[in-house]
Structure 1
Amino acid sequence: MTDMLKRLLLIVILIACASCDSSQKPARQTSEPASAAQVPVVTVTTVQSHELERVLRLPGELQAWQDVALYARVQGFVDAIPVDRGTIVRKGQLIARLRAPEMGNQRREAEAKAAAAKSQLAEARARMAGVRAQRIEAETRLATDESTYRRMKAASATPGVVAGNDIEVAVGNIEAARTRIQLYRENEKAAQAQVDALTENERALREAAQSITRMEEYLNVVAPFDGVVTERTAHPGSLAAPGGLPLVRVQMVSRLRLLVAVPEAEIAGIRPGTAIPFSLPAFPGDTFSGVVKRSSLALDPKTRTMTVELDVANTSAKMAPGMMPEVLWPTRRSALSLFVPPAAIATTTERTFLVRIRDGQAEWVDVKRGAAMTLDGKDLIEVFGALSAGDVVSIRGTDELREGTRVTVRQPPDKSGRN
């Protein structure tokens, strides 16, 4: 009996010890997670500094280098139009010939009037020359009479050498000569006025005839440059007139203009002389290029874009005005930019921020998003804020990690997947 009680007492003691040991172990296990929960472990990355280089896919439009609608400059009937849509033309080539018979009649009449005026002018000049010759002859005779008078006057100092009547005759000759000279001068002045009037009239009539001749030249419509006819609206027999419909439209397509609307944020990278590639849906797999030449230097207030113009060589005439290419527009910043993974940016209704880890504590830094870029196969996004390259930030932005929270930093796994 005594031995039995001893065995039972030993079993009870062993069971009690086992119960105490099992109750103490969970207490130690729960204390460890409670301590770890107070200091969160945060996977971090660093703010990187790179030159922003990316390619935007922007729509563009090809336009003819020159695009001209040719109108009739004078009224007339279309006599011939030897070109049609798609005809390749050279500068100065006949595009259309108009017919206006009344214009020829007007020219001939104007030329006849100009010829008559020219004849009248010649007669007036001849009359003026005759009057001038009479004046010169009278002036010569006056000089002779005055010389004779002076000799007679000197000789009359000796009595009996010159009769008094001779001196009176000499004086009368001088006065008569002077009167004739004055008359000739007045006649010459009138003749000169008539010549001036006839000269002006002849010039006006001659210019009128020349003007009609030039107008007749407008009956032939010619190509202003090398190009191709893209539209034709006139036909032989139709009436053409200034202000009416154009006869044809001619475009220069050996060179093209490529217009691209560049977003406001990217205009700082526009560099004249840069070759820009583009593709066309009509030629899948082919790549073309144009050279940046000029820009509008003004933003469209509705789209907030600036129109940039590229010159495109098209000697093969493969491309056509009106095509809509996809332009691979390179984007660069003038200075280095800061980048983080997209997931590092946290956004709430009030702010956009990164969680920076400094001295073991979380710190919210307000940022603005910039351009996206892919570098070495990794997606990055440009950020602007009170940051510096090398700053340590949480790789996952969240407002759950409050400012001032102490954290334990953990680096992201490497490419092999190990921590």
Structure 2
Amino acid sequence: MKAVWVVVGVAVLVVLLALGIVPRIQRNAKVAAEARDPANLIRAVSVVVPRRPDGQPELSLPGNVQAIQETPIYARTNGYLRERRVEIGERVAAGQLLAEIDTPELDQELVQARATLAQAQAALSQAQAGLEQARATHQQTLASLQQAKAALEFAHVSAERWTALAQRELVARQDADEKRTARDTARATADAARATVDAARANVGAMEGNVASARANVAANEANIQRLTATQSFREIRAPYAGVITAWSVDRGALINSGSGSTNTPLFRIAQIDTLRIFANVPQTFARSIKAGQETQIVLQEFPGRTFRGRVASTAGALDPASRTLLTEVRLP
């Protein structure tokens, strides 16, 4: 009985193998016949003529949107904040007052500088008066010198005349000696007058130097007052242009330090948003197709479904060596 079941199993296995192999053999034979058919050896293809695209290739790039200009505003004088007149998000006009600063120390410096200027002006007036006096003295010494020269000339002529008469024994020798002595005295007087003129001239030069120094001192004090006055005008913080206040960092009574160093915080930040600028990095492949004035389309996530038109304002003109991209600025009015 067991042998019968073995025979039946073998028969079933043979039938199953026949059912699986026969169709495959038939299919392979059909494929081989079709492959040998010459009609199936020719492939049909479509041929077109290449041409350049009608317009520029479309390029979509991410960009960074910024205001056309954004400026931190620092204080240019020390003091205390008296009043802040604007808030965040407020639109301001060019030159509008944003805040006022009390400057007690600067005000005292200005008062002291004006007093110093008054002293310098008084010293200048005194120096000018001394110069006028020195010039008058110089003129007097010149007149005295001319008088001494005239007296010397007369004494010289008299001495020569009396000497000639004494040689002819027409006058006493003592009288001739007196004339010669008078001539020597007149010569000494003329020399002294000449020395006095030189001294007076030197005094005039010294007084002119004093006047020049006093005038320079006055000019220096006037310049100091102008500097302090200009610094005092910075008590009023004004908007450099029309825009929107985006931040402020001080309130009334706060201590204000001038300057824009790393330790100082800007009092305000203002942005001009009438025009926006967008920076995008254009791949090197498309760099040559970017031109100034070229129109662009801008899509913002904040305005879904809307498209804005902008224009290329400028490019960097050179590729970034690291990213091989061209930095491009697009303006959005």
**What's the TM-score once normalised by structure 2's chain length?**
0.75
Q: Go from structure 1 to structure 2 and tell me whether the alpha carbon gap of 1:263 and 1:31 turns closer, same or farther (over 3 Å shift).
A: closer
Map 1:319-358; keep pairs closer than 5 Å.
none
Taking the aligned partners of 2:139 and 2:184, their CA distance within structure 1 comes to 25
Taking the aligned partners of 2:79 and 2:91, their CA distance within structure 1 comes to 25
Residues 30-76 of structure 1, C-alpha deviation per residue, up to 9 Å, x if partnerless? 87851427844241423512146321122222211221111112221
Out of 93, 98, 101, the residue aligned to residue 98 of structure 1 is: 101
Amino acid at match of 2:326: M
Q: Which moved more, 1:34-43 or 1:217-226?
A: 34-43
1:17 aligned partner: none
* Structure 1 alignment gaps of length 5 or more: 1-29, 314-419
Residues 356-412 of structure 1, C-alpha deviation per residue, up to 9 Å, x if partnerless? xxxxxxxxxxxxxxxxxxxxxxxxxxxxxxxxxxxxxxxxxxxxxxxxxxxxxxxxx
Out of 78, 83, 106, the residue aligned to residue 80 of structure 1 is: 83
Asked if the contact 2:292/2:315 (under 8 Å) is kept, the reply is: no
Q: Go from structure 1 to structure 2 and tell me whether the alpha carbon gap of 1:137 and 1:291 turns closer, same or farther (over 3 Å shift).
A: farther
1:204 aligns with 2:220: yes
Taking the aligned partners of 1:174 and 1:223, their CA distance within structure 2 comes to 76
Q: Which moved more, 1:224-233 or 1:293-302?
A: 293-302
The alpha carbon displacement at 1:88 in A equals 1.6
1:36 aligns with 2:43: no
Out of 289, 313, 333, the residue aligned to residue 293 of structure 1 is: 313
The alpha carbon displacement at 1:200 in A equals 3.4
2:244 aligned partner: 228
Out of 272, 288, 293, the residue aligned to residue 273 of structure 1 is: 293
Taking the aligned partners of 2:180 and 2:35, their CA distance within structure 1 comes to 162
Amino acid at match of 1:45: V
Q: Which moved more, 1:139-148 or 1:263-272?
A: 139-148
**What's the TM-score once normalised by structure 1's chain length?**
0.61
Taking the aligned partners of 2:34 and 2:64, their CA distance within structure 1 comes to 67
Taking the aligned partners of 1:149 and 1:78, their CA distance within structure 2 comes to 81
1:132 aligns with 2:135: yes
Out of 189, 205, 220, the residue aligned to residue 189 of structure 1 is: 205
Amino acid at match of 1:205: N
* Structure 2 alignment gaps of length 5 or more: 1-31, 166-175
Residues 191-237 of structure 1, C-alpha deviation per residue, up to 9 Å, x if partnerless? 23333333333333333333222221121111111111111221111
Asked if the contact 1:290/1:310 (under 8 Å) is kept, the reply is: yes
RMSD: 2.8
SS at match of 1:139: helix
Amino acid at match of 1:277: Q
Taking the aligned partners of 1:103 and 1:227, their CA distance within structure 2 comes to 31
The alpha carbon displacement at 1:151 in A equals 5.8
The alpha carbon displacement at 1:304 in A equals 2.9
Identity of aligned residues (%): 27
The alpha carbon displacement at 1:251 in A equals 1.0
Residues 310-363 of structure 1, C-alpha deviation per residue, up to 9 Å, x if partnerless? 2232xxxxxxxxxxxxxxxxxxxxxxxxxxxxxxxxxxxxxxxxxxxxxxxxxx
Residues 127-163 of structure 1, C-alpha deviation per residue, up to 9 Å, x if partnerless? 1221122113212332343345446646766557x95
Residues 287-307 of structure 1, C-alpha deviation per residue, up to 9 Å, x if partnerless? 322222211223334443221
Taking the aligned partners of 1:32 and 1:66, their CA distance within structure 2 comes to 75
1:107 aligned partner: 110
Map 1:350-389; keep pairs closer than 5 Å.
none
